[in-house]
Copies of this chain bind each other. A is one copy, B any other.
Amino acid sequence: MKVLKIALLGFGTVGEGVYRTIQSHGVRLEEVLGKKVEVVAVLVRDKEKARNISKDLLLTTDFDEILNIPQLDIVMEAIVEKEPGFTYLKKAIQKGCHVITANKEMFAHHGKELLELAEQHYVSVGFEATVAGGVPIIQTLRQLLNVNRINKIQGILNGTSNFILSEMREKKQSFADALHLAQEKGYAENDPSNDVEGTDAFYKLVILSKIAFGQQLDWSDINVAGITKITSELVEEAEELGLRFKHIASVEQENGKLKGSVKPILVGRSHPFYHIEGVENAVNVEGDIVGSITLQGPGAGMFPTASAMLEDLGQLSKISKQYDSKSFSVKTNKETRRAAEYWLICNVKKKLLHPAIENVERLKNGTSIINADEKVVEKVREQYPGMEYFKIIGGYNEINRSGSTSLTATL
């Protein structure tokens, strides 16, 4: 029986998850692949650290030792930051290995180069695990793209932020307390800035956007904001309006140009993200033929992410397609022409005066709801330093706030 030889780069949460799953599901993988799967080497930073790992494999801190393994088939990378992951995977591809990565930061920056290099060397690059953990969004986008043009993608892509917002709402905690809990539970790092400032979600949006639209999304194209400005007072006020803060990354194509954002948005009950709580991730895709599809599931964690990496293993020969070569234009969908939108405006005590703004409702603490076009809101903001604004999606008008029963009845 032929053996599929795997080297694992990194033995953190995800790396260990892959290792354990290959051990527990070896028979299943052998059924699917027709080959026995064996982890022959693991690259770590510190060889001396205690690990529950087989003595028979090569445990090394030196990537060259891994490259020198004869007939190595696959390199699976689960380390963080752009380097050294990118250099390692380039070398692995040049040596003729298939590669599978869970490293979103590296792949958002260097995905295109890796895929082109892989094409030259007739190997594949799997990256399902880079976005939304166990949720099979990469594969789903590929499937939809067989016929659909994608109009828009929206996602709750950072489980840590979603967990913090859920805790703040459900348990009326402060941002700091909720973040602290997320750190205790292992959902957030000691330095949580990548998560709570939107960078992590941005990387994932870059990857999704490239698959869906074939174009590179740049920092300069979009507004990236995290959840650090959301106070428990704001969360509570939103709650009273029947709205919830969700940190949403979205991208759409207008006249051939990508338009995206990564920021907290207020979501009403009719939106599929209203009910996404805790560390869950969700992605909504609008295809021009199929309509709106939503996927929801575990966005991170040892086993969901390991599952995504090993799913890639199961279809090695099919991957690498459709990622970088498509660059078609999306037809303008009539339905995307929409009326002016609703916004929650904070830190402005007086009524906003602008002919293109409808002041829908004044709330306490200098908060109000307005109805206006995004451009107008941006313009108005220049006149009001300190003003914050949040888009409301999912049917602000449909909310009936009068009482429990009728409220439920009109959801």
Contacts and interface: CB of A to CB of B under 8 A. Distances in A.
Interface of A: 21, 25, 28-29, 31-32, 134-136, 139-140, 143-149, 169-170, 172, 239-240, 242, 269, 272, 274-275, 287, 289-298, 301, 303-304, 306-308, 310-311, 313-315, 318, 322, 326, 328, 401-405, 407-411
A146 B405 contact: no
A146 B293 contact: no
A13 to B, nearest CB: 14
Given A293-B296, A295-B293, A239 B304 contact: no
Nearest to A404: B404
Chain A facing B: main interface SS: mixed
A146 B314 contact: yes
A144 B293 CA distance: 18
A289 B313 contact: no
Given A146-B310, A147-B28, A275-B275, A295 B298 contact: no
Given A140-B140, A275-B275, A294-B295, A409 B170 contact: yes
Contacts of A322: 32
B32 A289 contact: no
Given A272-B275, A409-B169, A143 B311 contact: yes
A314 B287 CA distance: 15
A393 B65 CA distance: 53
